[in-house]
Amino acid sequence: MRTGESEWSLRAILVRWAPVLLPGFVLAAMLTLNPTLRHLATWDRIGRNWCDVALLAIGLTPIIITGGIDLSVGSVVGLAAVAAGFFWRDLGLPLSAALVGGMLTGLAAGMANGTLVLAGINPWW
């Protein structure tokens, strides 16, 4: 707020409430321009499609904020998914066992990456 500016001036209100008002205006514009977004099934589909991205973002945000940018996470996730598919389709394991195998593959790759970082090899080089 500027010196001498009223606490209830339009500028002060907009600056204070912008983080709340802006997403609301964007959502209202989206709902107006695209009637498909008015259906709950659409939002359910959007949430299901972005769930894995959100989980990765939640885990990587503290790492990126602290400066430990490590782009190998996407590669490890891809490797784990391919390994789970390999165990399920090619080896004929039950789906639950294939998923556990994929998670163990991701764990092994993450441990190998962590060991290399501890050895002094920077993950971004």
The answer on pLDDT for 88 being more than 70 is yes
The answer on pLDDT for 1 being more than 70 is no
Same domain, 27 and 78: no
Tell whether 22 is covered by a domain. Answer: yes
Same domain, 25 and 74: no
Q: What is the mean pLDDT of the chain?
A: 84
Q: What is the largest CA-CA distance in the chain?
A: 74
Tell whether 95 is covered by a domain. Answer: yes
Tell whether 58 is covered by a domain. Answer: no
Residue listed under structure tokens 């907009």:
14
Q: What is the mean pLDDT of residues 92-119?
A: 92
Give the pLDDT of residue 52: 82
Any idea of the CA torsion for 96, 98, 99, 104, to the nearest 10 degrees? 130
What's the CA gap between 86 and 116, in Å, rounded? 26
The answer on pLDDT for 34 being more than 80 is yes
Q: What angle, 0 to 180 degrees and rounded to 10, lies between the N-to-C axes of helices 72-85 and 95-118? A: 150
The answer on pLDDT for 93 being more than 90 is yes
What's the CA gap between 121 and 118, in Å, rounded? 7
Same domain, 34 and 74: no
Q: Which domain holds residue 114?
A: 70-125
| Structural domain count of the chain | 2
Indicate the pTM of the whole model. Answer: 0.54
**CA triplet 115, 119, 122: central angle to 5 degrees?**
90
Same domain, 124 and 77: yes
